[in-house]
Amino acid sequence: MEKILVIGATGSVGFEVAKLLADSNKPVKIAVRDPERAKSINLTNAKLVHFEYQNPDTFDSAFDDIEKLLIVSPPSYLNLQELVKKAIDASIAKGVKLIVNISAISANSELDRPIKEIEDHIKNSGVDFVILRPNCYMQNFKDLFRTLIIEDNEISVPAHNAKTSFIDIRDVAQVAVKALSDNKLSKQIIKLTGKQLLNMYVVAHLFSEALNREIEYHDISEDLFEKSLRSAGWPAGTIMGTLQLCSHIKKGETALITDSVERILNREPIKFDQFIKDYSDNWK
């Protein structure tokens, strides 16, 4: 069976892809900075391999005997594109034949130029590829905004009244697994969205109904948002990435709906109220 390496498995969407592959007994390796510490990932059917973009000496062993590669593009604010491109070249030199790249819906924006550079490098590399551009993840409300919802019963972000077709990470992961196994998706750039265009007022209403308590949306300024995140102890990089995401939303770059998930998975995307129901214990 063709061996797969997942780079980015310690992040939310990468982990979900690695889990699906391991659960289906696919021969998968997970690239991690510290294999010993990463044992807590606890994917029994997956092998942990040492890999660091900043350390090219780790490339050779990580890409050994790998035919398919899944790369979750690092956030643009990290500016790691040159290191990622070197890793891509090293993987191809070792025999990788297919690269699936999880990019972003906003890849064509100036803010996400580093992500677009990675896309272009893969497209021009000469190997088979599938590029996935998911919209904003529903799981941001589970991971990033959990404390606000629990402690303050509010969602306070600078998003105005703009709409987004949020997508569940589980849908993205299933499409990624499909891309790794189905050559019908070969050489495509695929935008992945949910099927509902929602603004934050509607999102707050859905949370209110599901959690049986009032959750309010407050449209605040970027300055106030940044100050509140700093006081909450958020890392500077996470704050920068979240502000960038809000900028994409306000500009209307996330207000689109595609049928890609339904076409590829033969079912509708997970709806926002179902996402809240599935993770309801997270906000109690």
Q: Where are the domains of the chain?
A: 4-134, 135-166+193-255+263-284
Give the model confidence (pLDDT) of 83-113 as tens digits.
999 999 999 999 999 999 999 999 999 999 9
Q: What is the pLDDT of residue 118?
A: 98
Q: What is the pLDDT of residue 46?
A: 86
Residues 116 and 107: their CA atoms lie apart, in Å, by 5
pLDDT at 131 over 70: yes
pTM listed for this prediction: 0.95
Mean pLDDT value across the chain: 94
Query: What is the CATH class of 135-166+193-255+263-284?
Result: alpha beta
Which one-letter DSSP state was computed for residue 127? Answer: S
Which one-letter DSSP state was computed for residue 137? Answer: B
* Average pLDDT value for residue range 213-235: 93
Alpha carbon separation from 238 to 89, 142, 171, 207, 243 (Å, rounded): 28, 15, 23, 24, 9
Give the model confidence (pLDDT) of 1-46 as tens digits.
569 999 987 778 999 999 999 999 888 999 988 877 667 777 778 8
Residues 175 and 58: their CA atoms lie apart, in Å, by 29
Amino acid type, 213: R
Q: Where do we find the tokens 């100036």?
A: 110
Residues 6+ apart with CB under 8 A from 216: 153, 154, 155, 204
**CA 49, chain centre distance (Å):** 21
Q: What is the pLDDT of residue 1?
A: 58
Q: What is the pLDDT of residue 2?
A: 65
Q: What is the pLDDT of residue 70?
A: 97
Residues 6+ apart with CB under 8 A from 221: 158
Which one-letter DSSP state was computed for residue 44? Answer: T
CATH of range 4-134; options 3.40.50.1820, 3.90.1150.10, 3.40.50.720, 3.30.460.10: 3.40.50.720
Task: Locate 204 and state its tokens.
Answer: 């707050």
Minimal CA–CA distance to 191: which of 133, 266, 108, 256? 133
Checking DSSP bridges between strand 154-157 and strand 216-219, what pairing results, if any? Answer: parallel
**What percent of the chain lies above the pLDDT cut of 70?**
99
Q: Contact, 16 vs 169, CB < 8 A?
A: yes
Q: What is the pLDDT of residue 198?
A: 98
* pLDDT range class, residue 264, cuts 50, 70, 90: very high
Alpha carbon separation from 241 to 27, 50, 171, 246 (Å, rounded): 33, 26, 22, 9
* Average pLDDT value for residue range 234-251: 91
pLDDT at 47 over 80: yes
Residues 6+ apart with CB under 8 A from 56: 86, 87, 90
Q: What is the pLDDT of residue 8?
A: 87
pLDDT at 153 over 90: yes
* Average pLDDT value for residue range 255-283: 97
Q: Which helix (H) or strand (E) holds 72?
A: strand 68-72
Q: What is the pLDDT of residue 72?
A: 96
Which one-letter DSSP state was computed for residue 52? Answer: B
* Average pLDDT value for residue range 168-186: 96
Q: Contact, 75 vs 112, CB < 8 A?
A: no
